[in-house]
Structure 1
Amino acid sequence: MGPDDVPTVLVEDLPADPAGDDTLFVLDVREPDEWAAGHIDGAVHIPMGELVARIEEIPRSTRVIAVCRSGRRSAAVTAYLADGGWDAHNLDGGMITWAALGRPMTADTPGAPFVL
């Protein structure tokens, strides 16, 4: 499976607060500066370059929603996870679409969260 034919999920099909849904594991694969600027509350941050080393942190019993800025990096991660047997889906449009639709975000820096 390649990044162009991975299972996807639309922002509109997810709860505004996915942290409150124990059937979802939101996996943010962006770089630390992107994460710090703004991310989905309750998401788990594992940068794409650390994925293989930290693979045991990703549960197999839960639907995994991979997210990055635009959906390209997370599509590659979704393909990798799906090939490995995870129930993985790429967030279509990534954080850009999440923010554009006014979905809540949190940040690790002062000021309002934003997509870097």
Structure 2
Amino acid sequence: MPTVEIADLKDDDFLLDVREDDEWKAGHAERALHIPVSEFMARFGELTEAAPQGGHVYVICRSGNRSARVTLYLVQQGVDAVNVDGGMQVWQAMGRPVVTDDGQPGLVL
């Protein structure tokens, strides 16, 4: 499965956060698209509309397990998807910004 380390992500990379609503509300990457894994199949069209044409979709969750499942599904659908190793836990530990919907500092549940 394609995987990327947090340190290798650029600020303008397209990030898909598949954590559940309570996790997202507590804190997330600022420009990420949020589609919870529990709603992913029903909301797949949102991703195809938002994702950059010909670019990677970097999939992230709390630790990398849920995002790995979504990444495998996306790859099977022909999407250039990459799992973010370590997820939001590593994101926060590396000092990357975590914010709430109103732009305030957030935290990773």
Which residue of the partner structure matches residue 76 of structure 1? 69
Quick check: 1:48 aligned with 2:43?
no
Structure 1 consecutive aligned stretches of length 4 or more whose deviation exceeds 3 Å? 108-112
Q: Give the secondary-structure state (helix, strand or coil) at the position aligned to 1:65.
A: strand
Q: Is the 8 A contact 1:8 1:92 kept in 2?
A: yes
Per the alignment, residue 28 of structure 1 pairs with: 17
Equivalent positions of 1:59-70 (< 5 A) are: 59=51, 61=53, 62-70=55-63
Q: How many pairs were matched up?
A: 105
TM-score between both structures, scaled by the size of structure 2? 0.89
Cα deviation, 1:23-47, whole Å, max 9, x if unaligned, reads: x321100010100111000101100
Q: Structure 2: which 5+ runs fail to align?
A: none
Cα deviations by residue, 1:3-55 (Å, 9 ceiling, x for unpaired): xxx1111100012xx3xx2xx32110001010011100010110001111111
Q: Report the counterpart of residue 13 of structure 1 in structure 2.
A: 8
Deviates more, 1:46-55 or 1:72-81: 46-55
Identity rate, percent:
51
Work out whether residues 37 and 109 of structure 1, in 8 Å CA contact, stay in contact via their aligned partners in 2: no
Output the amino acid matched with 2:31: G
Gaps of at least 5 residues in structure 1 are 1-5
